[in-house]
Amino acid sequence: MVATCLGFSPLPPEGHVSVCEIDGKVCHKPFESASPIEFTSTVSGYPSISLSHDAVHMAAGEDARHVFLHVEEKLLKRIMSTWYEQGAIEALQLASSPSDQSSAILQWSARLALKTMHVMSLAVNTIFPTFGERGQHTNSTGSQAQSLHRNPVRFVVWHPHCTKIAVAVSDDSVRVYAAATPGFVPTLRSKLQRSVTCLAWRPHSASELAVGCHAGVLVWQVDPKSVVTRPSITCATVLKRPGHSPITSIQWNSTGTLLVSAASSDSSMYIWDVDLQESVPLRRVGGGGVNLLSWSPDVHKLLAATTSVTFRVWNTSNWVPERWRVLSGYVRSACWSPCSTILLFTTSEESVVYALQFKPNCAQLDTMFYSDTPVSEQGARVVINLEPEEVGNGLRIGGPVMSMVWDKLGRHLALIFENSSLVAVYRTDLMPHLLITPCCLVKGASGEQPTAIAFQSNFDAGACLTIAWSTGRIQYFPMVYQELKNPSQSIGHNDSVQFRPDHSIFESSRIHDGSLLQSFHDSFLSY
């Protein structure tokens, strides 16, 4: 059964925003008084983050045009200034766009020139896949926070074990907010750290945060005992290789031993031993630069999507890849199920979510029955059809997906779209087979667009979706299932609370939906 964009719970009335979900019911509040604390105390100690444009200093090298008032000019002058400031391609694009002042001949010739250049670049890129992708402007194609340079928040990532969140801000700084130290926000900034695209906390470490940027990867040591708010660059290890930039994706394996980095202009991805500061490039012919990486939770597989239709799933035992192709575009976002047997991914062109199922490893075979049929040979199947639909109040969801995240227990899948101001949350069930059903839609304030999403890893009362909105506001959207039955788990949630899937997944399923009890239990066993 394929899920669609229909069947979500009703949207909040005008002027209200979605605040949280308690036992399957979405709670709404007026924007001015929107806080989940009225409904649940699970996020009571969380840092309040709001990074407005005024609070964020513009990054060096950032396009400064938006700070000036727009002035009407003649077309020729505009084309000249565009050519002077941004280059020939942008000038041709301006000339080819229909406007009152431009003549048909000018538009036609500009379009012809653009098409010729496009064909030439295609030919060159076929021979040299990474030729045309060098340069800072390609950051946007690879990054999940693409085309969002002007938004204050580019990326958010939760620490895997404690309540600590790192936020990549558009001024190329990274701010670290911790629930344990509400007033103390270390800001990581350096001249080397330009065009930050991705962040990754090291598992089984309190302090190490990898930052992917234009120059390479900076692994910062954010000492929790330190009182320094602006750590110097000596607290960071810089990992870079010639030709391996700009970094578009970084990922630690779940044991925290290896870091993998990808750059859209480099067809090699690098596996790093950060402590030894050594790296191994992994490369296969075809596909172009590597755009996206995702390591399976059991560390057995690594997804490496390229900037073309090709993507690979590497077997990390012997580092041999399986090669796959999408129909069009490139893989833009992907996430693994907790059991590492299902890979969900979306592409840049299609409005669907694909699922790719792999044979479980021996760790799971001893706890469940499984057919010997090689599922991966059957190909990827569509599990969510995201054709745009109107969901009320003139709002639409659907279309190409910008970012997709799956919570650590495999119960919720959240998506944001290129052309929608809503966050779609689906409920997922892994046993006996993958089942996806619409859950709820999260709506921000008027004019707000979601720019980045992340699930908190150590939230044991359900799932906590964190949404960065285009205004710089960061919202926590807890989905709590057991608070009424067991309030002790939601009160006093702090750093010392440990992630214990054996408790949370079982009890949350019991309270949330009794019919799903058995499947929850099975999914835990399989995990």
Partner 1 sequence: MSGPPSEVSSKAKFAREVFVSRILRAVVWSIVLQCIIAVLLGTPLLMNIDILHPLQWIKNAYSSGTWFYLISLGVMTFAQGVLMSKDFLMESPCIRTRFGTICSAFQPRNLVMAFLNMVFGAMIVSYYSGLLGDKTKIFTEDSGKCLNERNLYLIACGIWVGLYTTFHRQICEVRVVMFPMVQQLKYPQVKLKLGQLVMQSFKEAVLPYAYFCLLYWGWGGYLREHLSGFLGVTTDEHSAISVLFWMKPFLAIRCLLYSAIIILSGRIVEVLFQVFLTERCNFLISSTANDQLTLNDVLASPFPFMQRLGYLDLLHVAERDPIRQAELFSLSLPGGHPHNWNRVVTEVLRALESFSSDLNVAICDMNRASNGPLLPSSPVKSVLAESRPMLTSPMNQSSVTSPSLRLRNMSIIQSSDLNNSIAGSSPMLYAAANNAAPKQKKDVDVVAASKQQLIYVLQWIRRKPGINLLFGEMEDAHARHLLLHSQHLSWGVQALAHLAAASLKRDVYGVVQKDLPAIIKTLVQLKSALERLPLHSHKRTMRPGTLEIRMKAALTSAVKRSLYILCNAFGPYLSDLPLSEDLRQVLGNYILYKEG
Residues contributing to the site for partner 1 (CB under 8 A): 159, 161-162, 164, 180, 204-207, 221-226, 233-234, 236-238, 255-258, 271, 273-278, 280-282, 298-300, 316-320, 362-363, 366, 495-496, 498-499
3-state secondary structure of 126: helix
DSSP state at residue 470: T
Cβ-Cβ contacts under 8 Å for 375 (sequence gap 6 or more): 357, 358, 359
Cβ-Cβ contacts under 8 Å for 492 (sequence gap 6 or more): none
Closest distance of CB 278 from partner 1, Å = 7
- Of 338 and 444, nearer to partner 1 (C-beta) is 338
Closest distance of CB 307 from partner 1, Å = 22
Q: Taking each helix axis as running N to C, give the angle between helix 88-96 and helix 75-86, from 0 to 180 degrees, rounded to the nearest 10.
A: 150
- Of 71 and 276, nearer to partner 1 (C-beta) is 276
- Of 167 and 271, nearer to partner 1 (C-beta) is 271
Do the beta carbons of residue 329 and residue 350 sit within 8 Å?
A: yes
Q: Which of 216, 224, 234 has its CA nearest to residue 186? A: 224
Closest distance of CB 204 from partner 1, Å = 4
Closest distance of CB 129 from partner 1, Å = 18
Closest distance of CB 48 from partner 1, Å = 21
Residue 470's CB is within 10 A of a number of other CB atoms, namely 18
Closest distance of CB 268 from partner 1, Å = 10
Tokens representing 249 are: 């994706």
Tokens representing 229 are: 């708010």
Closest distance of CB 345 from partner 1, Å = 24
C-alpha distances in Å from residue 475, one per residue of 387, 454, 467: 27, 11, 5
Alpha-carbon gap, residue 410 to 70, rounded angstroms: 47
Do the beta carbons of residue 246 and residue 136 sit within 8 Å?
A: yes
- Of 102 and 486, nearer to partner 1 (C-beta) is 486
The gap between the terminal CA atoms of the chain, to the nearest Å, is: 23
Tokens representing 355 are: 């699922």
Alpha-carbon gap, residue 187 to 177, rounded angstroms: 9
- For 239-252, the three-class secondary structure string (H helix, E strand, C coil) is ECCCCCCCEEEEEE
3-state secondary structure of 51: coil
- Chain centroid, CA 157 distance in Å: 9
Cβ-Cβ contacts under 8 Å for 315 (sequence gap 6 or more): 300, 301, 321, 322
- Of 258 and 405, nearer to partner 1 (C-beta) is 258
- Of 355 and 497, nearer to partner 1 (C-beta) is 497
Do the beta carbons of residue 479 and residue 423 sit within 8 Å?
A: no
3-state secondary structure of 376: helix
Closest distance of CB 58 from partner 1, Å = 25
- Of 90 and 223, nearer to partner 1 (C-beta) is 223
Closest distance of CB 410 from partner 1, Å = 18
- Of 95 and 219, nearer to partner 1 (C-beta) is 219
- Of 74 and 225, nearer to partner 1 (C-beta) is 225
Do the beta carbons of residue 334 and residue 344 sit within 8 Å?
A: yes
CA dihedral 118, 123, 128, 129 (to 10 degrees): 60
- Of 39 and 272, nearer to partner 1 (C-beta) is 272
* Residue count of the chain: 527
Q: Which of 139, 141, 207, 216 has its CA nearest to residue 170? A: 139
Do the beta carbons of residue 197 and residue 153 sit within 8 Å?
A: no
Closest distance of CB 275 from partner 1, Å = 4
- Of 101 and 498, nearer to partner 1 (C-beta) is 498
Closest distance of CB 461 from partner 1, Å = 17
- Of 170 and 173, nearer to partner 1 (C-beta) is 173
Closest distance of CB 274 from partner 1, Å = 8
- Chain centroid, CA 9 distance in Å: 24
- Of 55 and 320, nearer to partner 1 (C-beta) is 320
Closest distance of CB 281 from partner 1, Å = 7
